[in-house]
DNA sequence: ATGGTGGCCCGGCCA
């Protein structure tokens, strides 16, 4: 059975709902991780997703952040954030088991600037994600952490690395934090399928960046080896970045033969 | 060029 999993930072689900609904029909994913819904839980359109065949769980706070998992393979064992004993002041992580796969939708803090408190929060947040994986998951089991990592794993993932030296998204400490997830067992499934290709998932709204191919690959689907071995197809859906009122991120789509 | 665009929601923050 092929399981199609996607992650998409929608930059406000209210602003994007029409596009998300038509995208769900076109792409027919089985599991979707959403980030930046910018909704309170009570405003999350669970019934509209149910009408399209998706169970869902949302972890939001209102104006900022907000993450969700949609699934037509069931949703079990929901955990918000790093768990009840380790609260996060912001709604950036939600876990659910979907058809036997442990799935997390993650919205890693942006960092803002290397000398900003938010950058320290970002590094701490990545360390907490690793601790949660170590404490609660096994790399021998099917686990996916998918979302907007706000980290470009290598210079290949940046349109102009020279412009992003000593910057957030590319700094050594951020990349090392990501590398620690890889050392634990996580595989960057898109990169596994695409070698050295310069393909991006986010483009700034400004300056025509999308049309000039000036972007970064910061939206990742990390999977443990039992799943990563089963990847059959991986793409970034650039069509979803085109046209009227797009998000500044495109969905990343991975097909697993499970 | 220290901007630019777009989301929150209406002044300023955030990405």
pLDDT tens-digit profile of A43-76?
999 999 999 999 999 999 999 999 999 999 999 9
- Contact residues for A72 (Cβ-Cβ < 8 A; gap 6+): A30, A31, A53, A54, A55
- Residues A250, A254, A258, CA angle at the centre, nearest 5°? 160
Estimate in Å the CA A222 to C1' B7 gap, whole number: 27
- pLDDT tens by residue, A101-152: 999 999 999 999 999 999 999 999 999 999 999 999 999 999 999 999 999 9
Helices (H) and strands (E) in chain A, counts: 6, 14
Q: What residue spans define the domains of chain A?
A: 2-257
- Contact residues for A40 (Cβ-Cβ < 8 A; gap 6+): A60, A61, A62
Structure letter (DSSP) for residue A52: T
Report the nucleotide nearest the CA of residue A12, measured to C1': B7
How large is the average pLDDT for residues A79-86?
A: 95
Task: Render A123-185 in DSSP notation, one character per residue.
Answer: HHHHHHHHHHHHHH--TTS-EEEEEE-S--SSGGGBS-GGGGTT-TTT-HHHHHHHHHHHHHT
- What pLDDT is stored for residue A95 in this prediction? 98
Report the nucleotide nearest the CA of residue A249, measured to C1': B15
Name the residues of A annotated as catalytic. 107, 148
Mean residue pLDDT across chain A: 98
CA–CA distance, A49 with A37 (Å, rounded to integer): 14
Report the nucleotide nearest the CA of residue A62, measured to C1': B8
Estimate in Å the CA A65 to C1' B4 gap, whole number: 24
- pLDDT tens by residue, A174-211: 999 999 999 999 999 999 999 999 999 999 999 999 99
Strand B surroundings (CB within 7 A): A 11-12, 14-15, 38, 62-64, 109-110, 112, 118, 150, 205-207, 245
How does residue A29 score in pLDDT terms, banded at 50, 70 and 90? very high
CB A150 within 8 Å of CB A108? yes
Q: Which chain B positions come under 7 Å from a protein C-beta? A: 1, 4-9, 14-15
Looking from the CA of A63 toward its CB, the CA atoms found within 13 Å total 0
- What pLDDT is stored for residue A104 in this prediction? 98
Under CATH, which number does the domain A2-257 receive? 3.60.10.10
Estimate in Å the CA A63 to C1' B10 gap, whole number: 15
CB A110 within 8 Å of CB A168? yes
- What pLDDT is stored for residue A250 in this prediction? 98
- What pLDDT is stored for residue A251 in this prediction? 98
Q: What is the distance of C-alpha A23 from the center of its chain?
A: 17
Task: List helix spans (H) across chain A.
Answer: 13-27, 46-51, 117-136, 172-184, 189-194, 225-228
Report the nucleotide nearest the CA of residue A109, measured to C1': B15
- What pLDDT is stored for residue A213 in this prediction? 97
Estimate in Å the CA A60 to C1' B12 gap, whole number: 22
Q: Which residues pair with A35 in a beta bridge?
A: A9, A67
- What pLDDT is stored for residue A102 in this prediction? 98
């Amino acid at each position: 059975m092929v399981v199609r999993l996607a992650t998409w930072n929608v930059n406000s689900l209210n602003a994007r709902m029409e596009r998300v609904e038509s995208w769900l029909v076109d792409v027919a994913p089985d599991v979707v991780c959403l980030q930046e819904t910018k909704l309170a839980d009570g405003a999350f359109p669970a019934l509209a997703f149910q009408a399209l065949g998706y169970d869902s769980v949302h972890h939001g706070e209102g104006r900022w952040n907000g993450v969700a998992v949609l699934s037509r393979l069931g949703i079990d064992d929901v955990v918000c954030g790093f768990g009840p004993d380790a609260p996060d002041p912001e709604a950036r992580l939600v876990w659910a088991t979907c058809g036997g796969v442990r799935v997390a939708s993650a919205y890693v803090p942006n960092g803002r600037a290397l000398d900003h408190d938010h950058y320290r929060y970002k590094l701490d947040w990545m360390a907490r994600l690793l601790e949660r994986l170590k404490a609660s998951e096994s790399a021998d089991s099917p686990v996916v952490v998918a979302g907007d990592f706000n980290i470009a794993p290598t210079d290949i993932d940046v349109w102009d690395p020279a412009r992003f030296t000593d910057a957030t998204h590319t700094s050594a400490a951020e990349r090392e934090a990501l590398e620690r997830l890889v050392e634990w067992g996580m595989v960057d499934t898109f990169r596994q399928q695409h070698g050295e290709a310069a393909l991006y998932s986010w483009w700034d709204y400004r300056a025509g960046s999308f049309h000039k191919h000036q972007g970064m690959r910061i939206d990742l689907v990390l999977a443990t080896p039992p799943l990563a071995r089963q990847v059959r197809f991986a793409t970034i859906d650039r069509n979803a970045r085109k046209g009227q009122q797009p998000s500044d991120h495109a969905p990343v789509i991975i097909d697993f033969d499970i």
